[in-house]
Amino acid sequence: MADISVEINRIKFKNPVMPAAGPNVRNARMMLAAIDGGAGGIVSKTVSIKPADDKRPTIRKAICRGLVNSETWSELPIEKMLVELAEVKNAGVPLIVSIGYKPGEVAKLGELIENEIAPDGFEFSTHYTGKSIEPLVEVARSLRSAVEAPIWMKISPNTPDIEALAIAVSEYVDAFVAINSFGPVLDFDIENPIPELGSDYGQGWLSGPPILPIALRIVYQILSVRDKPVIGVGGISKGVDAIKFIMAGASAVQVCSAAIRSGHSVYGKIAAEIGDWLETHGYSSIEKIGGLYKKRLGEQRTFDRIPVMSIDPEKCIGCKACIERGIQGAIYMKNETAAVIAENCIGCGFCQDFCPQSAMQLMDR
Ligand SMILES: Cc1cc2nc3c(=O)[nH]c(=O)nc-3n(C[C@H](O)[C@H](O)[C@H](O)COP(=O)(O)O)c2cc1C
């Protein structure tokens, strides 16, 4: 069995899959269900000084198996959330409590929760703190001065300069969580074009598979400037998604939308799939694939001049999958196999993704 346990800020997780803050972990009942579903750790729904008051509906389906939501933070008052957290604290997995938003608020909440619950760590959401770096640093600094436990900073994908932010907050935080949902966005049904969410004009925040590549890029960016753990979150619903984040350098992953769609067992399912993938690929532990993408960056193929696609006639089975995607008219059938008209080829590389035989590669002209 491959070893899928991980350690982040000296907190030990039996597997690297935990829920991301959302309705999937809004109270003790949901957090305990996530543990039953195989989560390696728990992150709570974000709690703030004032309970949220979200107009319904708050969650709808969006394009490409995504979700769009207008949920803000917890609707529970802090006193009630403390009771919920106390129930989960000794449930057998590490507990990370998510809090927000202003400097004074996170300091007050952090101190109170640390005294009452002593969680394994804190995560603070930056979703409503704006895009400027200084106010975000201010929140991190304020929480740092209030608590002893490790602090994870949850990054919003709207932050314009991720690297500058990571550098600026680094001395106050122990790890990063990337990313929160993306937006605001708007989606609706053309058969009934009215707002689908209870928010202003129906706008909301996009999550699930459509945001996975954004999250992956941000995980990579943070790690390119700071050697601190990053927990990847955004669009993960399968073991292979989690593997991709780990290869980008993530130490663990969080899951929200897939749990909302498929239920609490998704955490254990993803964890098992990670183990199976490692096993079948001959890796003994997660550590072996950590940051593999960065390690292989030097293998990136670059071209001084526009290259041309080349097709190996020995491998080509004449399925025409490349011709169907070839809007440049650069590929044609010649004696039962595909061939390239070099002057029409712009060297974009797209057609090779559809070749079932791996018969295509870009070459110097
Ligand atoms: C309905 C909903 C509510 C959420 N609430 C919170 C929250 O309270 N705090 C927070 O930091 N992120 C919140 N998020 C963002 C998720 O934790 C996560 O970062 C984002 O959805 C991307 O992950 P996913 O694609 O797995 O959903 C919420 C997301 C959804 C869909």
How far does the centroid of ligand 1 lie from the alpha carbon of residue 329, in Å?
Answer: 44
Please state which of the four CATH numbers 3.20.20.70, 3.30.450.20, 3.40.50.300, 1.10.760.10 is assigned to the domain occupying 6-295.
3.20.20.70
How much is the pLDDT for 90? 94
CB under 8 A, 24+ apart: contacts of 332-341: 337/311, 337/313, 338/311, 339/311, 339/313, 340/308, 340/309, 340/310, 340/311
CA distance 196 to 68: 10
> Whose structure tokens read 């000084």?
49
Residues of the chain with pLDDT under 50: none
Is 0.95 surpassed by the pTM of this model?
yes
Q: Which atom of ligand 1 is nearest to the CA of 255?
A: 26
pLDDT of residue 326: 84
**Residue 341: Cβ-neighbour burial (10 angstroms; 0-12, 13-18, 19+):** middle
| Ligand 1 atom nearest residue 154's Cα | 11
Query: Cα–Cα distance between 142 and 139 in angstroms, integer?
Result: 5
Angle at 176 between CA 41 and CA 167, to 5 degrees: 165
Q: Regarding beta strands 331-334 and 337-340, do their DSSP bridges make them parallel or antiparallel, or are they unpaired?
A: antiparallel
The secondary structure of 130-162 as a DSSP string is -S-HHHHHHHHHHHHHH--S-EEEEEPTT-S-H
Separation of 17 CA from ligand 1 center, angstroms?
Answer: 15
How many whole angstroms from 207 Cα to the centroid of ligand 1? Answer: 7
Show me where the domains of the chain are located: 6-295, 301-363
Q: Is the CB of 235 under 6 A from ligand 1?
A: yes
| Any atom of ligand 1 within 6 Å of the Cβ of 20 | yes
**Atom of ligand 1 minimally distant from the CA of 207:** 25
For residue 22, how far is its CA from the centre of ligand 1 (angstroms)? Answer: 5
Closest C-alpha among 69, 162, 150 to residue 110? 150
Q: How far is the CA of 228 from the centre of ligand 1 (A)?
A: 22
Q: CB-based burial of residue 206 (10 Å sphere; 0-12 exposed, 13-18 middle, 19+ buried)?
A: buried
Cα of 12 vs centre of ligand 1, distance in Å, is 23
Q: Is the CB of 48 under 6 A from ligand 1?
A: no
Question: According to CATH, what is the number of the domain 301-363?
Answer: 3.30.70.20
Residue nearest to atom 3 of ligand 1 (CA): 22
Does the CB atom of residue 137 touch ligand 1 within 6 A? no
- Max CA-CA distance within the chain? 77
